[in-house]
Amino acid sequence: YYCDKHIPMVKQKLGAACRRIDVDQGLGGGAPGSKPAFVAMCNLVFDSVDDFQRAFAPHADSIMGDIPNYTDIQPLIQVNEVKM
C-alpha cells in the first residue's frame, strides 16, 4: 500500500515542487542479525524548506490522514539540508 498507493498520492499532491521521492526499507541494524531502527524511511526532496511548506500545507490533512491505511506506527518527521 505504501509504495503503490500512498507515495503516488503524495507525489501527485505535492506536484513539481517535490523534486524527488526516495523510499528506503529497513533491513537490519548495525550488528549482524539485529533489527533495523526503522521499518522504512521516505525522503522528499525540495529546493527549499519554503517550497516544502507551501506544497505540503494545503494537503497535510489528507497525506497524514492516509497513514492509518498502512501502519499504526507514529511517523517521525525531520527536515534536513542535503550537503553532498
The list of the chain residues with pLDDT below 50 reads: none
- pLDDT for the residue 23: 98
Strand partners, 20: 45
Contacts of 35 (CB under 8 A, 6+ apart): 26, 28, 29
Query: Residue 4 is which amino acid?
Result: D
pLDDT value of residue 66: 98
**pTM of the entire predicted model:** 0.88
Whole-number pLDDT of residue 84: 84
CB 71 within 8 A of CB 3: no
pLDDT at residue 81, rounded to an integer: 93
Tally of helices (H runs) and strands (E runs) in the chain: 3, 2
